[in-house]
Amino acid sequence: MDIDGDGEARQVQVRFVTKLPQSYRVQQASISIPANLTRFGLSALINNLLLTTSEDWTTEPFDFLIDGELVRMSLEEFLLAKGISAEKVLEIEYIKAVAPRKQEEPSLHDDWVSALDGSSDGYILTGCYDGFGRIWKAGGICTHVLDGHSAPVTSVCNLMPKGDSIVDQVVATGSKDKTLRLWKFGEEDPIDQPKKITSVKILWGHTGAVQSISGKPSGDMVCSGSWDCTINLWNTSANDTDDSVSVKKRKKGGQDEEALSEGEALTTLVGHTQCVSSVVWLQHETIYSGSWDHSIRRWDVETGKDSFNMSCGKAINCLSIGGESSALIAAAGSDPVLRVWDPRKPGTLSPIFQFSSHNSWISSCKWHDKSWYHLVSASFDGKVMLWDLRTAWPLAVIDSHGDKVFLCPFLKWTVHLMRIKNSIIVRPALFPLHPEASNSSLNPKKELYGCTQRSCHDAGLVELATQLVCQGALSGHKSCRVPWLLNDTSFSN
């Protein structure tokens, strides 16, 4: 077949296959279809085929893979671009695609959202420029306010997020006041109004602002990256005296309260020459770090030495470990390119993937913890992009901010948190059912007005399967924009 012939007469023989459950499967016999079909037309075709096998079938959007790569153009264009012969039967795998879901109203936040951890199933932990951390539970209710830092909170993390109960849950916060603090709260605490709690332990040792923190998987330690160019390792037990330097009684209203223990670093990892902007405590004895000195390092906790040191040529703003076997390194910084490396392969200095659809520096990136293929990035260009390693184009682009976007972690719990100072109106937006264009953008249905500060901050949430993407932004405008939801059940290995 000559695929350069008349477009109206072109046909291609295809066979559809899938790894989805039996109810999603069509007959695998080859059929002839127009070569100019895009994924929108292919999705309609699959739905029609499924409808012939089940009258109860409900239409769903699908995505399509050819030789492991997502189709982002017509079949004809794809075959030409990849040099695939149209004479043979083309095998096309279909998977579930992005679909919208009903949006709920977000909860209010008091100030700029600077940090967020949603790794717990029962709550979301946030940090703000007002110096407070906050715990949010069902219905977007703020149940606890973490009061203690004297400067903006820059980073937060759950230390034991995997338990079935959050009684005596321990969380950590890092701040520009050069300290980390540990906090405890219980599930039984009343939620009729936020309960202000004080830290159970304060960790001293950094000589510069704390920029990033990450908990050990077991929850008994935490590491922190700082503007003093070091990484400190801390014990998180409030009762452990190995690192204790003093114990103080806090007083409030003339009455003594629970004792506050103070701790010092157990170990300091030295090697970076500029701000340690990102740390990830991946395994028991392995820590990854990214720095403005252009390097990514892998540290052996036992020896305190870096076992892997890779120069990226750019200042690193964000770092995430995931993908296949949780072995791939995604990082980005002072250019518009999101890069992915596989440190298991020779010549690791060369990234195995590069995504370059952003127009400005990238501030945040995060792997999806249930998928080998999916990750998100946020940029100073005001966009958040959802990526799939199987295509060079973003699956979707969130482009509803007027200024920089700073955060985009995946969250486990489907609760919306956002707040812009003095802004009270929210505007939801949804991804289109079939985002046909590779750079599909979102437009707000309503904007937020009323900010009195020079800058305003917001966070947007996008649900991906059972998880969310959250983004925060500092904007120089007096209009602020808040979240959307996205239901995507296609995340699988």
Q: What is the pLDDT of residue 223?
A: 97
Residue 26: inside a domain, yes or no? yes
User: Residue 105 CB: number of other CB atoms within 10 A?
Assistant: 12
Q: What is the pLDDT of residue 458?
A: 29
pLDDT, tens digit (0-9, with 9 covering 90-100), for 257-272: 456 788 999 999 999 9
Q: What is the pLDDT of residue 25?
A: 94
Q: What is the pLDDT of residue 239?
A: 61
Task: Compute CA 427 distance to the chain's CA centroid, rounded to the nearest angstrom.
Answer: 22
C-alpha–C-alpha distance, residues 233 and 268, integer Å = 6
Residue found by looking up tokens 């452990």 in the block = 240
Instruction: Determine whether 218 is exposed, middle or buried from the number of CB atoms within 10 Å of its CB (0-12, 13-18, 19+).
Output: exposed
- Integer angstrom CA distances of residue 228 from 169, 179, 207, 208, 269: 30, 12, 6, 5, 11
C-alpha–C-alpha distance, residues 294 and 481, integer Å = 33
pLDDT at 356 over 70: yes
- Side-chain-side CA neighbours of 358 within 13 Å: the count stands at 30
pLDDT grade for 120, boundaries at 50, 70 and 90: confident
CATH at residue 18: 3.10.20.90
C-alpha–C-alpha distance, residues 194 and 49, integer Å = 53
Among residues of the chain, what percentage have pLDDT more than 70? 70
Q: What is the pLDDT of residue 182?
A: 96
Q: What is the pLDDT of residue 190?
A: 62
pLDDT, tens digit (0-9, with 9 covering 90-100), for 388-405: 999 888 888 877 655 677
Do 440 and 385 touch, CB atoms closer than 8 A?
no
C-alpha–C-alpha distance, residues 166 and 164, integer Å = 7
More confident residue, 346 or 274: 274
Task: Compute CA 22 distance to the chain's CA centroid, rounded to the nearest angstrom.
Answer: 32
Dihedral angle computed from the Cα positions of residues 114, 120, 124 and 127, in that order, rounded to the nearest 10 degrees: -30
Residue 179: inside a domain, yes or no? no
Q: What is the pLDDT of residue 109?
A: 59
User: Residue 252 CB: number of other CB atoms within 10 A?
Assistant: 9
Residue 171: inside a domain, yes or no? no
Task: Compute CA 329 distance to the chain's CA centroid, rounded to the nearest angstrom.
Answer: 14
Which tokens belong to 303? 């020896």
Question: Where in the sequence is the domain holding 22, given as residue range(s)?
Answer: 11-96
Q: Per the structure, how many domains does the chain have?
A: 1
Strands laid side by side in the 124-128 sheet: 113-117, 124-128, 133-137, 141-146, 195-197
pLDDT grade for 331, boundaries at 50, 70 and 90: very high
Q: What is the pLDDT of residue 9?
A: 58
Q: What is the pLDDT of residue 346?
A: 75
Do 458 and 403 touch, CB atoms closer than 8 A?
no
pLDDT grade for 429, boundaries at 50, 70 and 90: very low
pLDDT, tens digit (0-9, with 9 covering 90-100), for 9-49: 589 999 999 999 999 999 989 999 999 999 999 999 999 99
Q: Closest by alpha carbon to 127, among 97, 166, 153? A: 153
Among residues of the chain, what percentage have pLDDT more than 90? 43
C-alpha–C-alpha distance, residues 133 and 88, integer Å = 60
Query: Radius of gyration over alpha carbons of the chain, in Å?
Result: 24
Listed in sequence order, the residues at least 6 apart from 255 whose beta carbon sits closer than 8 Å to its beta carbon are none
Residue 338: inside a domain, yes or no? no
Q: Please list the residues that pair with 333 across neighbouring strands.
A: 316
pLDDT, tens digit (0-9, with 9 covering 90-100), for 437-446: 333 333 333 2
Question: Which range, of 119-133, 222-236, 362-376, 392-406, averages the lowest pLDDT?
Answer: 392-406
pLDDT, tens digit (0-9, with 9 covering 90-100), for 197-216: 999 999 999 999 999 999 99
Residue 346: inside a domain, yes or no? no
Q: What share of the chain is helix, strand, coil (3-state, %, to 5)?
A: 5, 45, 50
Averaged pLDDT, 4-13: 67
pLDDT at 425 over 80: no
Predicted model pTM: 0.73
Residue 385: inside a domain, yes or no? no
Residue 241: inside a domain, yes or no? no
Q: For the residues of 455-488, what is the DSSP string, one character each?
A: SEEEEEEEEETTEEEEEEEEESSSEE---EE-EE
Residue 55: inside a domain, yes or no? yes
Q: Closest by alpha carbon to 456, among 427, 420, 415? A: 420
pLDDT, tens digit (0-9, with 9 covering 90-100), for 50-107: 999 888 899 999 999 999 899 989 999 999 998 888 888 999 999 998 655 554 554 5
Q: What is the pLDDT of residue 300?
A: 95
